[in-house]
């Protein structure tokens, strides 16, 4: 018995889905009792001479009005066009599976509601971890737990760049160019290097973990564009590496969700996640720490997650109810000023001793790097770490340092991971 499937978008992910469906059609049949058949692919290009040429259509109605098509895979990307077509699919009583994190993060609650009203499914495992299964573990395997924290490296582009800078001493600009040449970064890399991609992903995970919709626009987001080789070197001196960290915590009834570069101890699990790999650590109040690791993007890894959703729907083994009923309520995300962290700070001054005095005046427990403060007397740069501080107090302290008459300037600061 055949199961009709169509695709909207035949780019990197879409072509991976087709390849994987064709390769594993018999395997899927053995698991579901039905054999997936790709009926149509909607795209603006013809793909002349390719194996899918006969399946290509430029008329979306060839999919929407075809009763033999039960499920649509949306791999168009972006928001507006994908939103309109996804909504249309639901209204035509067709299930939708997507890898589109932008769409889920922006319109998830509305689309889930429309899917429910039309008694169809909307699944998006591939929208967060690529090939890493994370939504299912959160929603099923860890359902007995109250999720205390999610902390992860959710963007392969920035992880590759920070790994390369650390290992080869390349500066940010050269490393970005290399990432683009290797296909790890887009021509316009802003969504990755400014943290927006990771921000959308942690918002989706927070929505599932905490049972209400976390709007990615409320997530504090900071990228890696300010990270220098000096910062990476200094991180190593205190036994740390720098990673772009997405973090969601429930603390004293507040939800702290943010994305920013952090120095993390080399003994911490996420420190060894390098290159384009992603790592997601989930803390449950019963199970403790669970670590998920793998390729967070790529043609076939992402296709793997898409097809897992397809199989779930083919088995009639899932529902939207756990999401759609909860996501009608919006999660209140705490202001970044309420977060607690340790901090690494890099100052610049004409006189290093004056900079040390200013640092110790505002942050009495500061540790000057290197340890012997006298060695900074003839340098124009002073680096120190703080104890655990509330973000608001830390920033006010930095403002007082810069506003003093000493001429000290703050050149950069980076949060240091703590479990507070």
CA–CA distance, 215 with 207 (Å, rounded to integer): 8
What's the rounded Cα separation, in Å, for the pair 19 and 271?
34
Query: What dihedral do alpha carbons 364, 365, 366, 369 form, nearest 10°?
Result: 130
Q: Distance (Å, rounded) from C-alpha 100 to C-alpha 302?
A: 11
The catalytic site residues sit at 201
For the entire predicted model, the pTM comes to 0.93
Query: Under the phi-then-psi rule, with left for phi > 0, alpha for psi from -120 to 50, and beta for the rest, what region is 145?
Result: beta
Arithmetic mean of pLDDT over the chain? 93
The answer on pLDDT for 371 being more than 60 is no
- Extract the runs of DSSP E, i.e. beta strands, from 266-362: 277-284, 288-295, 340-348
Give the model's pLDDT for residue 297: 80
pLDDT in the model for residue 354: 84
227: nearest Cα among 183, 275, 277, 164? 164
Q: How confident is the model at residue 21 (pLDDT cuts 50, 70, 90)?
A: very high
Q: Are 150 and 248 in contact (CB under 8 A)?
A: yes
State yes or no: pLDDT of 420 exceeds 70. no
pLDDT in tens, 294-346: 988 888 999 999 999 999 999 986 666 557 667 888 999 999 998 999 999 99
Residue with tokens 């021509």: 187
| Residue 281, SS3 per DSSP | strand
Kindly tell me the burial class for residue 314, based on how many C-beta atoms sit within 10 Å of its own C-beta (0-12, 13-18, 19 or more). Answer: buried
User: For residue 374, is pLDDT > 60?
Assistant: no
pLDDT confidence bin for 1, thresholds 50/70/90: confident
For residue 292, pLDDT beyond 90 = yes
CA distance linking residue 276 with residue 160, whole number of Å: 5
Strand partners, 242: 263
User: pLDDT confidence of 381, banded at 50, 70, 90?
Assistant: confident
Q: In Å, how far are 71, 208, 304, 318, 366 from 120, measured between CA atoms?
A: 9, 19, 21, 10, 57
pLDDT at 407 over 70: yes
| Dihedral sign, Cα of residue 363, residue 364, residue 365, residue 371 | positive
pLDDT digits (tens, 9 = 90+) for 3-15: 999 999 999 999 9
| C-alpha radius of gyration, the chain, whole number | 24
d(CA 414, CA 385): 9
User: Contact, 330 vs 127, CB < 8 A?
Assistant: no
Distance CA 298, CA 416 (A): 30
> What's the confidence (pLDDT) of residue 419?
81
Nearest to 314 by CA among 30, 12, 18: 30
Please name the residue ranges forming H helices in 325-387: 352-362
- Which H helix or E strand runs over 414? strand 409-416
pLDDT of residue 406: 77
| Structural domains for the chain | 2-129 (3.40.50.720), 135-296 (3.30.360.10), 337-416 (3.30.70.1120)
Average pLDDT over residues 190-201: 97
Which among 259, 290, 349, 263 is positioned nearest to 140, based on CA atoms?
290
Counting residues of the chain whose pLDDT is more than 70, the rounded percentage is: 95
Average pLDDT over residues 193-201: 97
What pLDDT score does 322 carry? 59
Measured distance CA(327)–CA(116) in Å, rounded? 13
Chain length of the chain: 420
Region 266-273 average pLDDT: 95
């Amino acid at each position: 018995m055949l199961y009709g499937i169509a695709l909207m978008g035949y780019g990197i992910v879409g072509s991976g889905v087709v390849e994987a469906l064709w390769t594993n059609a018999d395997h899927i049949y053995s698991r579901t009792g039905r054999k997936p058949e790709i009926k149509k692919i909607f795209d603006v290009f013809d793909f002349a001479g390719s194996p899918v040429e006969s399946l290509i259509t430029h008329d979306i109605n060839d999919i929407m009005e075809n009763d033999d098509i039960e499920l649509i895979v949306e791999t168009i990307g972006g928001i507006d066009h994908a939103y309109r077509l996804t909504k249309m699919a639901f209204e035509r009583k067709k299930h939708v599976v997507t890898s589109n994190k932008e769409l889920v993060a922006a319109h998830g609650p509305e689309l889930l509601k429309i899917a429910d009203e039309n008694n169809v499914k909307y699944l998006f495992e591939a929208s967060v971890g690529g090939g890493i299964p994370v939504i299912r573990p959160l929603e099923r395997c860890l359902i007995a737990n109250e999720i205390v924290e999610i902390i992860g490296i959710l963007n392969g582009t920035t992880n590759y760049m920070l790994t390369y800078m650390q290992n080869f001493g390349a500066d940010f600009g050269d490393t970005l160019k290399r990432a683009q040449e290797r296909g790890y970064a887009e021509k316009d890399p802003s969504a990755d290097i400014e943290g927006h991609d990771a921000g959308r992903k942690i918002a989706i995970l927070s929505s599932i973990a905490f049972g209400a919709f976390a709007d990615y626009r409320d997530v504090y987001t900071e990228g890696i564009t300010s990270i220098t080789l000096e910062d990476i070197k200094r991180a190593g001196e205190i036994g740390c590496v720098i990673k772009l960290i997405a973090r969601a915590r429930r603390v004293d009834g507040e939800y702290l969700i943010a994305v920013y570069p952090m120095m993390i101890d080399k003994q911490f699990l996420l420190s060894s996640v390098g290159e384009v790999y992603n790592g997601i650590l989930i803390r449950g109040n019963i199970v403790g720490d669970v670590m998920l690791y793998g390729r967070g993007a790529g043609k076939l890894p992402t296709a793997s997650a898409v097809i897992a959703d397809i199989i779930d729907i083919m088995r009639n083994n899932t529902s939207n109810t756990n999401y759609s009923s909860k996501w009608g309520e919006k999660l209140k995300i705490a202001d970044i000023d309420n977060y607690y962290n340790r901090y690494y700070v890099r100052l610049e001054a004409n006189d290093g001793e004056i900079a040390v005095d200013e640092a110790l005046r505002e942050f009495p427990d500061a540790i000057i790097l290197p340890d012997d403060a006298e060695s900074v007397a003839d340098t124009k740069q002073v680096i120190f770490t703080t104890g655990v501080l509330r973000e608001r107090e830390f920033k006010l302290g930095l403002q007082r340092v810069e506003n003093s008459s000493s001429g000290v300037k703050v050149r950069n600061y980076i949060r240091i991971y703590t479990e507070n």
